[in-house]
Amino acid sequence: MTPPGQRLCFMMLYLFLVTAALAAVNFVVDPFGVWGMSVIDRVYLKSEPGERITTPYLLRSEQPTTLLVGSSRVLFGMLIEQGYRDGVLNAGISHASLDEIAGILHAAIENRSLKRVVWGVDFFAFDENWTGFRDPQTPLRLRRNEPLMIAETLFSLDALDASRKLLFRAIGGRDRLPATRRAPVPWPEDLIREKLDGVDDGGLAQAADAVVRWQLMQWAPSYATYRFSANQLMLFRKTMERVRAAGIDVVLFVPPLSAFELEVIRQTGHWQTFQRWQRELVAVAPFWDFSGYSELSRSDDLFIDIAHFKPAIGHLILRDLLGQGCSECGRKAQLVAAAAQWVDPVTVDAHLRKQDTSRMVLTQEESRYSRIVAEVLRGNRGPLRSSVLRDRGTASEFRAG
């Protein structure tokens, strides 16, 4: 019979060996791409178990020359499944607050290789209810808290599961990866054209009215209680000043909004606030505007759901913002080109008048967009709180592929 003390020693030794093996596997496989291991080609990486964990570490481990920041519109719309590729790091975060984006940029400017920031700026992020950090660990990750990083990337079961999936993808080989994972960033014109002009792969165009209503029930609360925040505007201004002072070029754009989202803004009485926000934005820096009532906003086949455009649109926009152009991207790419408006202190008045005229013309008669939004808003006359969206309305729940 083994003495109790010796049995305890064996148990502790076994626990140590299992833990050491777990850490060794995660270190060698490096599923988050934070330890600089090159055993497995990084083309097989994937942002698992979530961008709020992996992005802060990639900011430190990689040396991107271009950084994409914003909400899930940037995260999914300018999709880089590995997180980092070809010098571009997608640091978009689902339903990101300005506090989180400012924290990301504060950490990013320590990278001397960084030359450019592409920032998708969201109207909803300037709401006084939309502040702080969703995950309290995020500030620690951004400061590269070593004990936390070791615990999350080496000793967690999430990391082990990510290692397992990464190994299976690598075993499958490059040929089994979709073209979008193997393509350079931004995507080449032929791939964008294929995705835009090919057979519709689902998303908003295929969504039944009941599905759209459900999505709107998650999204409408963020506008029903919207209150423009001067403090968030100040944070935006100071963040811009800090990044510029570091000698980094900043390209701002307002992402495309679906007609459903525009109707929520209009029918909740925030259209004038939306236009005022654009005036405040241009007072800080000029930007490209892809929002507003346009043929693009009503092209449901170009949206994943009511809040997110498809990756082909995002990479098309990225090509344009980086000066690469997309003249061979096909017929539907022209909708994006037509929607794009350069807004600066000289053009802002004319831009807002044109945007307002388009709104009046396209909302004179009832449409599927206005009807469904009105039905949802009438059915939610109780207290609507933006916390509903924070808890449930993520792109990962909506997206169709």
- Residue 288 forms beta bridges with which residues? 253, 342
Query: Taking residues 294-304, what's their average pLDDT?
Result: 95
pLDDT at 199: 61
Examine residue 259 and state whether it is found in any structural domain, yes or no.
Answer: yes
What's the domain range around 302? 42-398
We report the CATH number of the domain holding residue 201 as: 3.40.50.1110
pLDDT at 401 > cutoff 50: no
How confident is the prediction for the chain on average, in pLDDT?
Answer: 88
Query: How far is it, in rounded angstroms, from Cα 96 to Cα 207?
Result: 25
Examine residue 94 and state whether it is found in any structural domain, yes or no.
Answer: yes
Examine residue 97 and state whether it is found in any structural domain, yes or no.
Answer: yes
Give the 3-state secondary structure of residue 358: helix
pTM of the predicted model over 0.85: yes
Examine residue 256 and state whether it is found in any structural domain, yes or no.
Answer: yes
Examine residue 243 and state whether it is found in any structural domain, yes or no.
Answer: yes
Q: Which of 146-150, 368-372, 387-391 has the least mean pLDDT?
A: 387-391
**Tokens 């305890």 map to which residue?**
8
Task: Count structural domains, the chain.
Answer: 1
Which residue has better confidence, 237 or 28? Answer: 237
Examine residue 381 and state whether it is found in any structural domain, yes or no.
Answer: yes
pLDDT digits 0-9 by tens, 203-259: 899 999 999 999 999 888 889 899 999 999 999 999 999 999 999 999 999 999 999
Query: Taking residues 77-93, what's their average pLDDT?
Result: 94
Quick one: DSSP state of residue 300?
A: G
Token pair for 203: 């998303």
pLDDT digits 0-9 by tens, 265-282: 999 999 999 999 999 999
Q: 27 with 35: CB under 8 angstroms?
A: yes
From residue 62, alpha-carbon distances to 11, 49, 70, 112 in Å are 39, 18, 19, 11
Examine residue 155 and state whether it is found in any structural domain, yes or no.
Answer: yes
pLDDT digits 0-9 by tens, 120-152: 999 999 999 999 998 899 999 998 888 898 888
